[in-house]
Structure 1
Amino acid sequence: MHEVSAAEFRRSIGRYQDPALREAVTVTRHGRESTVLISREEHERLKRRDRHALSLDDFADADIAALEASTPVPESMAFNGEL
């Protein structure tokens, strides 16, 4: 991944657009990563991987009944403290 300061990026944005087509370009502010420039194709690929939360309205009655009838595996008890 290529890294550039925000000041240098502002001065020469065109210089970093072509490299961003091949690999991410990280823009830093005060020495810390703040922004990443990526290609449109990479952005679209990442958007396709987004996960969407579903509500009960998204399930059929049979699906809800199956969820209600299910029992968790014993290993899941370790997460009860998070409830």
Structure 2
Amino acid sequence: MRTLTELLTITKNGRGRLVLVSAEEFFRLKSRDRRAVQPAELSDAELDLIAKAGMPVECAALDAEMKGYAL
């Protein structure tokens, strides 16, 4: 018997085509979905946090890759 979080892969011609998961696992994964929102839907506090956000130091090298690209 399979556990609630164990996956069952269905294959076609030896290749994985579908994965069957328990409802519990599906809803756990679904709860982690991101949703897109319009800026007007954000609170002033959220907009302030976004405005103050910065790039991690480890990612500074990416700036050089963007030189020459028009935004």
SS of residue paired to 2:62: helix
Task: Give the match for residue 34 of structure 1.
Answer: 17
Task: Give the match for residue 48 of structure 1.
Answer: 31
The CA distance in 2 between the partners of 1:23 and 1:66, in whole Å, is: 39
The runs of 5 or more residues in structure 2 that have no matched partner are none
- What percentage of residue pairs aligned between the two structures are identical? 33
The CA distance in 2 between the partners of 1:73 and 1:51, in whole Å, is: 22
Which residue type is aligned with residue 8 of structure 2? V
The runs of 5 or more residues in structure 1 that have no matched partner are 1-17
Kindly state the Cα deviation for residue 41 of structure 1 after the two structures are TM-superposed: 1.4
Change (3 A) 1:66 1:41: closer
- Kindly tell me the number of residue pairs found equivalent between the two proteins: 66
Instruction: List per-residue Cα deviations over 1:36-69 (Å, max 9, x = no partner).
Output: 1111111111111212233312322354344335
Which one has more relative contact order, counting CA pairs under 8 Å at least 6 apart? 1
The CA distance in 1 between the partners of 2:51 and 2:59, in whole Å, is: 16
Task: Give the match for residue 19 of structure 1.
Answer: 2
RMSD in angstroms over aligned alpha carbons?
A: 2.9
Instruction: Return the TM-score normalized by structure 1.
Output: 0.53
Change (3 A) 1:63 1:34: same
